[in-house]
Structure 1
């Protein structure tokens, strides 16, 4: 998934969470935490893999659920210490949304190839062959997920999610915009 798609999913999920949990749209700091959390995995893994050759792929260390467990423990410890648990939760939701939206659609059809990053470094990349199938999904899953295995449809859906997130952000009152403006020297 591209950066805009990660942000789109993360913002929509967090905005719905904030409305359900607090009965209001996201506040500025959590909205900015969503932006950071939705991009962090790629900001760590892509340069370390592509520019420096330290990691085996652009989806390994920061995309691993093992890394997420440690990272989110630190984020929540900081959130608790600073009285910013809502911001920590926003970051956690966004980071996990990023990791889960990088799971290839074919994985939901039973084909695990490309999901090894979820438990890196426990599984080598790639461990599964492209045509290995672990389970037969229900027909409804085939109908819902099948179209998203087409790269053009998947790419279009990312832009659609991004557009929906921007519209929702606007409806939410553009949380974070004034916060950033107030902190930029004139």
Structure 2
């Protein structure tokens, strides 16, 4: 998934969470945490892959084992700073990134390409491309198969981004006030 797709999935999930949990749209600081959390895995892994440190662009930052450590640190700092809502936004976004990177073929029973979730315990290439672990129900096969086509999946990312952008507007464009500054250079954001 591309960066805009990860951002879209993360924002949609967190906005729905905030509306369900707090009965209001997301606040500005958590929205910025969603932006950061939705990109963290790629910001770690892609440069290390380009430098030849890792064999793929989905290694350390994409591992659920690494995510556990990140979650512990993020919540520990959040409790000290009284920013638990912001930490939750970050965690939702980071975990959504990992889930969104699971290939659609996994839902059809093919685990190839999911090894990153348990890196370094499970190495890349552990599963063969045609190796199937289970047979999905026919309905799942019918719904998921079109999304195994890269062009269709890319179109889905743009649709999700459009939906997220529309929801962000409906939520009052939270986070934008951190980008805008008043005449004295002070941000107009609120604490969450």
Determine if the TM-score, normalized by the shorter chain, exceeds 0.5.
Answer: yes
Structure 1, gaps ≥5 residues long: none
Q: What is the match of residue 80 of structure 1?
A: 79
Asked if 1:49 is matched to 2:49, the reply is yes
Report the counterpart of residue 128 of structure 2 in structure 1: 129
**Paired residues for 1:26-175 under 5 Å:** 26-50=26-50, 52-175=51-174
More deviation, 143-152/30-39: 143-152
User: Aligned-pair RMSD on alpha carbons?
Assistant: 1.3
Pairing 1:7–2:38 present: no
Deviation at 1:83, TM superposition (A): 0.3
Whole-Å separation in 1 of the counterparts to 2:32 and 2:153: 26
TM-superposed CA distance for 1:169, in Å, is 0.3
- 1:101-157 Cα offsets, whole Å, 9 max, x none, are 000000110000000000000111111110000000111211221111011110000
* SS of equivalent residue, structure 2 residue 177: helix
Q: What is the CA–CA distance in structure 1 between the aligned matches of 2:24 and 2:181, rounded to whole Å? A: 22
Deviation at 1:75, TM superposition (A): 0.4
Give me the TM-score of the superposition, normalised by structure 1: 0.97
Structure 1 stretch displaced more, 1-10 or 140-149: 140-149
Structure 1 residues 46-94: Cα deviation after superposition (integer angstroms, max 9, x where no partner): 00011x1111210010000000000011001111110000000000000
1:16-31 correspondence runs (5 A):
16-31=16-31
3-state secondary structure, aligned to 2:7: helix
Q: C-alpha displacement at 1:181, in angstroms? A: 1.6
TM-score by length of 2: 0.94
Using the alignment, how far apart are the partners of 1:154 and 1:59 within structure 2? 19
